[in-house]
Amino acid sequence: MFSLQNKITLVTGAGSGIGAAIAEAFAKAGAHVFVADRDATGGHVTVDKIKATKASAEFIALDVTSEADCERVRQTVHSAFGRLDVLVNNAGIGHVGTLLQTNGADLDRMYSVNVRGVFNVTKAFLAGMIEHKVGNVINLASIGGVVAVRDRLAYCTTKFAVVGFTKSIALDHAKQGIRCNCICPGRVETPFVTARLKEYPDPVAAYKEMASTQALGRMAKPDEIAAAALYLASDESSFMTGSEFIIDGGWSAGK
């Protein structure tokens, strides 16, 4: 079940957190994983962990906001393997604030990574996937792309866009062998979130407040999100496209 044997995959933002967990899960399932990130140090840590299990991975530097960089990465992947089977657009950033606490530069910065980054990387690889009549794109959206989250105006705006982008790719290219889905997690206990919690006067109270949003009373672990990505990347999900895969611990159950 959920084998990715001989699949060529690329995961953006794979130097830490959810991206690293997805890269490790894919490699364990038999895929060759391109670990893509701006952070070479984090990217190489992920690759070293994968290689320590005798699985297959390599680091590739990527700035998703640069069309030229995305094209360079496409050329590298296609030169080595001739194709990409599974693309995971995981790279993303956050911002806290209402509309009155958000300026245009904040929104532009969020858009450049969370929306334009997904656009750039997918655009670079989609034509090749269509040529091979098979391709699987998985986007990391958020529960903030399904329901509004308080004080996250810019973040929600971009994640709603990712959900719309996902559905458009799925509808436009289904008959060309392309599937596209997105994962919408609730709060996830990543190294980034853990570091931010330490900045609060009472980190324990802050954790409890963030965890309480989920009906299950805790945040997700990166491995739990990676398990969903593995399912979407596998042939077992072959009839699934254009969907929001919600993994939010019950956050949206009462909405």
| pLDDT per residue as tens digits for the range 125-149 | 999 999 999 999 999 999 999 999 9
Please report, for the domain that includes residue 49, its CATH number. Answer: 3.40.50.720
Instruction: Assess if residue 3 is contained within a domain.
Output: no
Residues 159 and 215 reside in one and the same domain:
no
**3-state SS, one letter per residue, for 69-137:** HHHHHHHHHHHHHCCCCEEEECCCCCCCECHHHCCHHHHHHHHHHHCHHHHHHHHHHHHHHHHCCCEEE
| pLDDT per residue as tens digits for the range 81-111 | 999 999 999 999 999 999 999 999 999 999 9
Range of the domain at 206: 189-219
Q: Is residue 155 annotated as part of the catalytic site, yes or no?
A: yes
**Number of compact structural domains in the chain:** 2
Output the pLDDT for position 200: 87
From CA 217, how far away is CA 219, in angstroms rounded?
A: 7
Choose the weakest-confidence range: 11-15, 208-212, 222-226: 208-212
Instruction: Sheet containing 135-140: give its strands across.
Output: 56-61, 32-37, 8-12, 86-89, 135-140, 178-185, 244-247
Per the residue annotation, which of 111, 155, 200, 207 is the catalytic one? Answer: 155
Residues 143 and 27 reside in one and the same domain:
yes
Instruction: Assess if residue 255 is contained within a domain.
Output: no
Residues 200 and 149 reside in one and the same domain:
no
